[in-house]
Chains A and B, each alone.
Chain A
Amino acid sequence: ASIFSGTGADPVVSAKSNHCLDAAKACNLNDNCKKLRSSYISICNREISSTERCNRRKCHKALRQFFDRVPSEYTYRMLFCSCQDQACAERRRQTILPSCSYEDKEKPNCLDLRTLCRIDHLCRSRLADFHANCRASYRTLTSCPADNYQACLGSYAGMIGFDMTPNYVDSSPTGIVVSPWCNCRGSGNQEEECEKFLRDFTENPCLRNAIQAFGNGTDVNMSPKG
């Protein structure tokens, strides 16, 4: 459990509410958010042929535009909404249309995927931001560098639409695990490095706390204290 358990909403109320649905509503009621959301959804959802699910390159571009041009008050809310049930968590997982933007026929090795990411200068710098801002720290209360949740969440969102696109691995409401679409099979003698790289996503207390705190609304004023 996070250090913030105990600040959760009234269980009777939260059992009925779906924060991810509320986040979609907020976006739909804002013309800019609605337009850019609709744009990436229609592109990522457009089937090319029976063999090609979608145009992944165009889908990634539309996702990047959404996260670049829509204020984080809308985008983070959709991406990091808290859930009590599976329907909500499935909606959260579906935010980036994972069957187009995330999943692939085969899972590459994570270090190979990292090499691919590093060829693109933007992907390379976004990944470096993520490693710096979400680095698990044992010296801070939140496990995040300088207790800065916002920087970690921003770096996570900044990788969406690149080769290292991360997502929720399943629709579990509270047991949050995020990962890029890769595994460490076939790492040879680099197995340990690969596992270490993957754990920055899958078993990272800073990232986990940042996502949970956002969902609980307890992240306010958690940026560096003077």
Chain B
Amino acid sequence: RRRARARSGARPCGLRELEVSVSELGLGYTSDETVLFRYCAGACEAAVRIYDLGLRRLRQRRRVRKERVRAHPCCRPTAYEDEVSFLDVHSRYHTLQELSARECACV
């Protein structure tokens, strides 16, 4: 994680997309249909808040240690795609809700 952080010019957090077959997703559906899978990825260094800095210090001083705390923003979807449908190899249709990300943010 340290190395990734040090790497300069890492792309900031945002939407990425990938064309994948439904079968590739490993969700238990067998279909050759291709869907556009959008996900969130990228750096969140710019989004570090005073909150994170304070929490880090308190964690170092072992003032906070009972639970897992995350003193670092995380690139995650803040909105998801409504739905996507496909026909499987048994000629049955399926609809998946919230398969893809629609918006991303460092939260």
Chain A residues with CB under 8 Å of chain B are 18, 21, 24-25, 28-29, 34-35, 37-39, 41-42, 44-45, 87, 90-91, 94, 97
B79 within 8 A of partner (CB): no
Which of B7-15, B27-35, B41-49, B61-69 touches A? B27-35
Cα–Cα distance between A103 and B19 once the two chains are bound (Å): 34
Number of A-B contacts (CB under 8 A): 46
* 21 pairs from A and B in contact (CB 8 Å cutoff): A21-B32, A24-B33, A24-B34, A24-B86, A24-B87, A25-B34, A28-B34, A28-B35, A28-B36, A29-B34, A35-B82, A38-B84, A38-B85, A38-B95, A39-B83, A41-B85, A42-B95, A91-B87, A91-B91, A94-B87, A94-B91
Chain A, residue nearest B92 (CB): A45
* CB-defined contacts of A38 to chain B, threshold 8 Å: 82-85, 95
Interface size on B, residues (CB 8 A): 16
> Which residues of B65-107 are within 8 A (CB) of A?
82-87, 89, 91, 93, 95
Contacts of B93 in A (CB 8 A): 41, 44-45, 94, 97
Q: What does DSSP make chain B's interface, helix, strand, loop or mixed?
A: strand
Known: A18-B32, A87-B89, A97-B93. 6 other contacts (CB 8 A): A21-B32, A34-B36, A38-B83, A42-B83, A45-B95, A94-B91
